[in-house]
């Protein structure tokens, strides 16, 4: 019989275990520092290096150079905490961390993530904590601390032979400050890329032991470190409260500032005889345990005033004040997050000026790009969670569209609708609008993304739709939109009835847009000949070019030069409501658009311009629709020939557009009812 315990034991990597639990002498550690000076990095340097270790991706958006950091896609967690659509805020955050790593000042500030509820503030903090924890286990992220050993006969640890450094400090802090700079220089520690700079003194408990041993050995520092110091690898862990701390405000009556800076161990007082003996103190506050790593303050502005005093010293001076002890040096990234209401209180409180002055605020808004918002729901409702239920095409799209529309500010210029603005933000092209216009729109909308509907609300209503009685095997956009609309009546974060009414109107806008989407989709499924559309487009462009340049067109069949085909051009333009009086302007816009694409090195095709694509598809559909009687879709009696044609269209919807049998049948019936009542653009 197979030894099951031995089988499990075979999974362990012993070499990795030995590496992660390395121990050595102070001399061994100096050799490591000489070879890899990056092990002495401070907390900000390590956090920044961790982020960029996953790479940097540069791209251009609206003529602006941006950087995307793959770390925020949560590569170590299979994308579970991935952040979408926030490249600019995340770039600002990384810029702050880089400046702090270089010692330019932000290391003396609180990094405050500010934004509406559900905008990923907590997720960003969680990613940073998870990332630095994993990084400490990698060779490039290794860091070390020390413990005191062989103390049993010294009387310095109440009979204990070992005493770990309670704040996991950098071992080079054992070199007295007055020698430290010279020691680093003469030992040749560090290089141009990684300078070895160690600031601060030992924590009170280690300082007490160090002074006692120095006295025991008559000031012989080498005997102290060789006989009583062991260096060990330090693994950061939030669960073990090593290098990663999280503080969450509680009820004001139960808050105690010792939760941040540690408290007296009353049991140890009997052993050491005094409550001012540092060995009788638990250095287990969030600031203490987060040393060398990161501390997160959840809803930081809900902290009691007593906590804020500790916070001020921890940021500006990088020191904390444990009860009855001298100020103690810390090395950690302090990051907090808060919502809009709490931040407004901070701005209105004149007694909080010191905190405001020590804060770097980074806005984390809601997403304003539909394609990025959609990724949230696609990830949240993946196939593994749907348990066999089918999500009809455009379900996530309409939810994302409505969410984004609630977050946009009304355009002040250009006579744009909210829907058009939403499309421009999502990278769609509209005739007459350039990237400069998009930049201007974003610049004018100061608070865009800081108000609106949270992704959590959308997720909750999608969940309702999935388990509702009407969802027999699949959900469609109307089911989700109906749930979203019903939920508005009880939404706790909607400030007034006018706002509620506005959100309901936006649901109507999205429904109309969805109708256009599915009508076009069914039209494409009926025509479904991309080559024919491309040929029609080429023919149209040839005629438009000749018309605008006042030239003739060569007939592809006869080879003769002829006048531009006005009838063809108008039959296409009328499909998108271009009046006779505007035809010249529209044709010039098309030619200018093609020219602008050419300058950017891009090639024009029929699907590059959304309006023209729709016009071409509708023209082709118009030419072909007579082969299928649309009224037959909603008729109870269908002959075999018509049924075969319907089955072909259904199969196209299933194969090319992502429908299943039930949703394809329903969408065909819905679109057919629209055509049957004449509700289609001429």
3-state class (DSSP) for residue 1: coil
Cβ neighbours of residue 184 closer than 8 Å, sequence gap 6 or more: 172, 190, 196, 197, 198
Provide the pLDDT confidence category of residue 682 given band limits of 50, 70 and 90.
very low
Please check whether residue 406 lies inside any domain of the structure: yes
The mean pLDDT value for 633-656 works out to: 73
What are 231's strand-pairing partners?
24, 146
The mean pLDDT value for 356-371 works out to: 93
Q: What's the DSSP call for residue 461? A: H
Please check whether residue 239 lies inside any domain of the structure: no
Residue 333 confidence (pLDDT):
97
Please check whether residue 442 lies inside any domain of the structure: yes
Provide the pLDDT confidence category of residue 430 given band limits of 50, 70 and 90.
confident
Question: Is residue 320 within 8 Å of residue 200, measured between CB atoms?
Answer: no
Cα–Cα separations (whole angstroms), residue 65 to 59, 91, 246, 446: 6, 11, 35, 21
Other beta carbons less than 10 A from residue 209's beta carbon: 21
Q: Which of 251-260, 423-432, 483-492, 655-664 has the lowest mean pLDDT?
A: 251-260
3-state secondary structure 77-110: HCCCCCCCCCHHHHHHHHHHHHHHHCCCCHHHCE
The mean pLDDT value for 434-449 works out to: 85
Q: Which of 65-79, 399-413, 512-526 has the lowest mean pLDDT?
A: 512-526
Q: Which of 95-104, 154-163, 468-477, 571-580 has the lowest mean pLDDT?
A: 468-477
Q: What's the DSSP call for residue 450? A: S
pLDDT (tens digit per residue) in 600-640: 888 888 777 777 887 887 787 777 655 555 555 545 556 67
**Pair of tokens at residue 55:** 């790479």
Q: Per residue in 323-358, is it b (16+ CB within 10 Å) or e — as a string?
A: eebeebbbbbbbbbbbbeeebeebeeeeebeebeeb
What share of the chain in percent tops pLDDT 70?
93
Please check whether residue 463 lies inside any domain of the structure: yes
Provide the pLDDT confidence category of residue 336 given band limits of 50, 70 and 90.
very high
Over 50: is that where the pLDDT of 27 sits? yes
Please check whether residue 462 lies inside any domain of the structure: yes
Residue 636 confidence (pLDDT):
55
Please check whether residue 375 lies inside any domain of the structure: yes
3-state secondary structure 313-348: HHHHCCEECCCCCCCEECCCEEEEEECHHHHHHHHH
Q: What is the DSSP string of 10-54?
A: TT--HHHHHHHT-EE-HHHHHHHHHH-GGGG--HHHHHHHHHHTT
pLDDT (tens digit per residue) in 446-457: 889 999 999 999
Residue 255 confidence (pLDDT):
67
Q: What is the DSSP string of 242-311?
A: BSEEEE----GGG--THHHH-EE-HHHHHHHS-TT-GGGEE--SHHHHTTTSEEEETTGGGS-HHHHHHH
- Nearest of 387, 383, 312 to residue 352 by alpha carbon: 312
**Pair of tokens at residue 263:** 């408290």
Cα–Cα separations (whole angstroms), residue 73 to 96, 124, 289, 298: 19, 10, 28, 22
Mean pLDDT over all residues of the chain?
87
Question: Is residue 37 within 8 Å of residue 409, measured between CB atoms?
Answer: no
CA distance 112 to 97: 12
CA distance 140 to 138: 5
**Pair of tokens at residue 100:** 């702090």
Provide the pLDDT confidence category of residue 527 given band limits of 50, 70 and 90.
low
Residue 252 confidence (pLDDT):
62
Residue 680 confidence (pLDDT):
46
Question: Is residue 295 within 8 Å of residue 334, measured between CB atoms?
Answer: yes
Q: What's the DSSP call for residue 166? A: T
Over 60: is that where the pLDDT of 63 sits? yes
The mean pLDDT value for 365-379 works out to: 94
pLDDT (tens digit per residue) in 474-523: 889 999 999 999 999 888 778 788 999 999 999 999 999 999 888 888 87
Higher pLDDT among residues 175 and 305, named by residue: 175
Max Cα–Cα distance, the chain, nearest Å: 111
Number of compact structural domains in the chain:
1
The mean pLDDT value for 27-47 works out to: 96
Please check whether residue 511 lies inside any domain of the structure: no
Identify the domain containing residue 467 by its residue range: 370-493
Cβ neighbours of residue 682 closer than 8 Å, sequence gap 6 or more: 574, 575
Q: Which of 165-179, 350-364, 496-510 has the lowest mean pLDDT?
A: 350-364
Higher pLDDT among residues 24 and 299, named by residue: 24
Over 50: is that where the pLDDT of 681 sits? no
pLDDT (tens digit per residue) in 231-273: 999 999 999 999 999 998 776 666 677 889 999 888 888 888 7
What sign for the dihedral angle of Cα 576, 579, 583, 585?
Answer: negative
CA distance 678 to 680: 6
3-state class (DSSP) for residue 651: helix
CA distance 367 to 327: 43
The mean pLDDT value for 103-131 works out to: 94
Higher pLDDT among residues 40 and 537, named by residue: 40
What pTM value is reported for the model? 0.83
What is the number of helices (H) and of strands (E) in the chain?
Answer: 29, 19
Please check whether residue 551 lies inside any domain of the structure: no
Other beta carbons less than 10 A from residue 516's beta carbon: 12
């Amino acid at each position: 019989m197979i030894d099951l315990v031995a089988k499990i034991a075979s999974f362990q990597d012993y070499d990795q275990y030995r590496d992660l639990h390395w121990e050595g002498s102070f001399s061994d550690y100096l050799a490591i520092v000489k070879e890899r000076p990056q092990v002495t990095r401070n907390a900000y340097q390590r956090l920044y290096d961790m982020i960029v270790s996953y790479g940097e991706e540069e791209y251009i958006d609206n003529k602006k150079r941006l950087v995307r950091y793959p770390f925020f896609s949560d590569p170590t967690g299979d994308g579970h905490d991935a952040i979408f659509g926030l490249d600019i805020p995340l770039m600002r955050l990384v810029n702050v961390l880089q400046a702090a790593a270089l010692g330019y000042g932000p290391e003396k500030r609180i990094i405050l993530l500010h934004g509406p509820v559900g905008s990923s503030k907590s997720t960003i903090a969680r990613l940073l904590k998870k990332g630095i924890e994993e990084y400490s286990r990698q060779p490039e992220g290794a860091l070390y601390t020390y413990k005191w050993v062989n103390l049993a006969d010294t009387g310095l640890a109440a009979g204990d032979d070992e005493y770990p450094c309670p704040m996991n400090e950098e071992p080079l802090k054992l070199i007295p400050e007055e020698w430290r700079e010279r020691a680093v220089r003469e030992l040749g520690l560090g290089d141009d890329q990684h300078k070895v700079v160690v600031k601060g003194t030992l924590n009170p408990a280690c300082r007490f032991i160090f002074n006692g041993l120095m006295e025991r050995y008559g000031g012989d520092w080498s005997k102290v470190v060789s006989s009583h110091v062991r260096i060990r690898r330090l693994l950061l862990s939030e669960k073990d409260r090593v290098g990663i701390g999280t503080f969450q405000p509680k009820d004001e009556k139960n808050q105690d500032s010792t939760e941040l800076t540690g408290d007296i161990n009353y049991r140890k007082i009997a052993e050491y005889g005094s409550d001012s003996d540092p060995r009788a103190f638990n250095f287990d506050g969030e600031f203490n345990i987060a040393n060398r790593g990161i501390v997160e303050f959840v809803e930081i502005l809900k902290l009691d005033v007593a906590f804020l005093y500790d916070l001020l010293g921890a940021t500006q001076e990088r020191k904390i004040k444990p009860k009855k002890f001298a100020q103690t040096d810390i090395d950690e990234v302090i990051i907090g997050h808060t919502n809009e209401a709490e931040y407004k209180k901070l701005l209105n409180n004149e007694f909080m000026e010191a905190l405001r002055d020590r804060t770097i605020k980074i806005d984390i808004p809601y997403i304003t790009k539909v394609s990025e918002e959609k990724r949230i729901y696609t990830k949240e409702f993946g196939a593994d969670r749907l348990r066999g239920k089918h999500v009809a095409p455009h379900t996530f799209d309409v939810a994302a569209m409505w969410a984004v529309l609630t977050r946009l500010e009304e355009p002040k210029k250009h006579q744009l609708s909210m829907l058009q603005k939403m499309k421009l933000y999502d990278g769609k092209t509209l005739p007459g609008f350039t990237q400069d216009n998009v930049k201007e729109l974003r610049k004018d909308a100061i608070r865009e993304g800081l108000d609106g509907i949270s992704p959590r609300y959308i997720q909750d209503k999608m969940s309702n739709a999935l388990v509702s009685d009407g969802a027999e095997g699949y959900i469609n956009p109307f089911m989700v939109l109906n749930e979203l609309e019903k939920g508005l009546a009880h939404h706790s974060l909607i400030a007034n009835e006018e706002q509620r009414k506005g959100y309901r109107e936006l649901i109507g806008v999205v429904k109309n847009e969805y109708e256009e989407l599915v009508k076009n989709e069914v039209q494409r499924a009926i025509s479904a000949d991309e080559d024919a559309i491309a040929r029609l487009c080429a023919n149209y462009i040839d005629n438009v070019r000749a018309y605008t340049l006042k030239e003739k067109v060569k007939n592809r069949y006869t080879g003769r030069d002829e006048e531009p085909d006005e009838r063809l051009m108008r039959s296409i333009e009328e499909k998108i409501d271009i009046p006779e009086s505007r035809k010249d302007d529209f044709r010039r816009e098309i030619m200018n658009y093609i020219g602008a694409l050419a300058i950017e090195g891009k090639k024009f095709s029929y699907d590059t311009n959304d309006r023209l694509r729709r016009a071409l598809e509708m023209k082709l559909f118009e030419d072909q629709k007579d082969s299928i009687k649309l009224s037959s879709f909603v008729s109870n009696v269908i002959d075999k020939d018509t049924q075969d044609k319907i089955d072909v269209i259904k199969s196209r919807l299933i194969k090319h557009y992502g429908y299943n049998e039930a949703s394809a049948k329903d969408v065909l019936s819905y679109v057919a009812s629209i055509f049957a009542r004449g509700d289609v653009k001429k």
